[in-house]
Structure 1
C-alpha cells in the first residue's frame, strides 16, 4: 500500500520536485553564500557545502527527467523548464567555487556546459515542434540567456584560477594607483573610502597571493605625504581586511567577470530577456496543460526574473562599481553612490571576523 502511494506521488510529482528543488537551491545560494566571508557555524557551512554540491546534480537530474516526461502530451509544458535548469547551472553571482580546487577544474565545467547545452537543445528541438509561437519564443529566450550565464560561470572559474591570475598580471603589469585614488575622496577615511583605496592597490595584493615576480610600477607621487605611512594602525589593519575581502570576491564569486563591460552587458541583457520571456509566457496558449505544470512554470519564470533583478541591484551597488566610477573620475556620481551605500550600511557585509570559512 505504502509502495503504491509512493509510486503514485512520484508519477504525479517526479519531475516537478527536482525542478523546484533546483530553483530553491539557487535562492539559498544567492542568500547565504556570503556566510563564508565571515566566521560561520559548522552546521551552516555544512548546509552551504551540500547546497553547492547538490545544485548542479539536481539540475542535471531534472534535465534527464524532462527528456522522458516531455513525450507525454499532458506534460508538454515541462520543455519550457529545460532552459531554466541550464540557467541554474550557471549559478549565482555570490558563489562559483567552494574551494580553490574548483577553479582549477574549469575545463571540466566547460565540458559539462557543452554536453548539457547540446542535450537541452535536442530536448527543445524534439518537443517544441508545433508548439505555441509565444511559448516557443519564451523558451528560446531563456535558453539563450541560460547558455550565456552558464558560460559566464565557466569563464569566472577560469579567471579565478591562480595560474590565470598570475599570467594576467605578467601580461598587463602591476600598477600602483595609490595616490591617484586619493583624489576625489571627500571626508574622513571611513570604511567606504578605505574600500576605494583597497581597490587602488588590489593588483599588488593579487601579485602577493599568487607569488608573482612581476615588479610593481612606481606611483607617480611616491614622495607624497598621503602614502601608506601616513595612516594609523587602525586604518592599515582595516585596509588589509578589505583586501582579503576583495580577494575572496575574485576567488570564490563571479566578481572577476561581473564588473567588466561584458559582465554589465550580460546583467542588462539577462534581465530584459527574462522579462520578455515572462511576458511571452503570459501571452501563450495554455489550454491542455496541467494546472500544476502551469504553476511551476510561473514559479520558475517569476523566480528567474526576481533573481536577475537582485543580481543587477547587487552589481550596481557593489564597491567594484564605485571603484569603476572613481577610476573614470566621475566624482559627483561617486559621492552619491558612496553616500547611498553609507545610508544602507552596505559596507558591513565586508567586515572580517578573522577567518574565511572553507
Structure 2
C-alpha cells in the first residue's frame, strides 16, 4: 500500500530520485533540470509517492510567480494570440484569449516533456494517486494554475489520471519520432511514397553536387557550431550571445553521451549546419541545431544532418528511435516521422472559468 507523499522544495531532489529513472527518462534527472536555470524560477519541487519509504512514482515541478520571458515555459504558452505554437492553427480573437493565472506550478522536464518516473509510472491507480496528491499540495500553496504542458498521447496512464481528476485538456502540438531501421536512411526511405522518395533523393543529390559533405563534428568545430546556434536563435527572435551558446553546448555534452552531425562546405570546409543529439538509452534526441543562413546550400544541409545522415549514424550505433520534438510538423511528416499528439493539461485553485476559456479559445482556432 502507498502510504505517503513526500514533497521536497529545493534545488536538489530526494537522495534516491535519480536511482528510479530509466535511461530513456534521463530528462527527469536533477542534472538535466539545470538546463532550465535562467529560464524558469529557481524554485523546484519534487513530488514522490512512496511505499514503505521506497519511491514508486514521482514528478518534478517548477514554480513560476512572474512572467518568465521564455515562451515555451510561460503562462502565455496557451494564449492563442501569442503562443509559440501559433503556426499550427488559425487566428484568434485577442479579446476572448486570456492567458493563464499566476502563480503557476509547471510539471515539465527538458526536452519539453511531461511524464512520471518510478516503477509505478505505468500503473493507472498509482498515477491517479500522484495526480491527486500534487493537486492537493498545489491548492494548499495557493497555485492559481497547475499545468502538465507537454504530455504525450502515448503516456496513457498519465493522460488517464489527469482526465480522471477533471483536468482540462488542450491539444497543443505534435511530437515527431522516427523509428530507426537497421539499414539506416536508405531502408527508411524505401517506406515512403514514390513521389517523396524521388524528391528526397533529388535533394541529397543537389547537395552532393554542391560539394557539401557530412560527418561527425571534430573537436575544433564546436566553436563554429556555437556560432551557427546563435544564428538559429536570432532567426527565431531569441536574444543570445556566443558565450551563452558555447556554454549551452558544453552543458549538453556533459549531461549525456552525444553525437554531433555536421554538414561542411567541402571535406575541410567550415560547417554549414549541425545537430547535437543526446543519447538517452536507445533513443536519440535532437537537442541543438544551427545553420548558416547566409549560404544558399544551408537549407538542404539542415535536413541532411537532421534526418538523412543522422539516421545512418543512429542505425550504426544501434539506436531504436530519434525524437525531433515539436513544431515544423509538416516537414517532419514528409520525411516519414510518426507524429504523436501532445496535450497540455490544466488545473489549479484559481479561476476555473478562465482556464476553460483559455482551452475553448485554443481549440476554436483549429
TM-score > 0.5 by shorter chain: no
The structure with the largest strand share of the pair is 2
Greater relative CO (CA pairs within 8 A, separation 6+): 1
TM-score tier by shorter-chain length is under 0.3
**Which of the two has higher C-alpha Rg?**
1
User: What TM-score, normalized by structure 1, do the two folds share?
Assistant: 0.25
User: What TM-score, normalized by structure 2, do the two folds share?
Assistant: 0.24
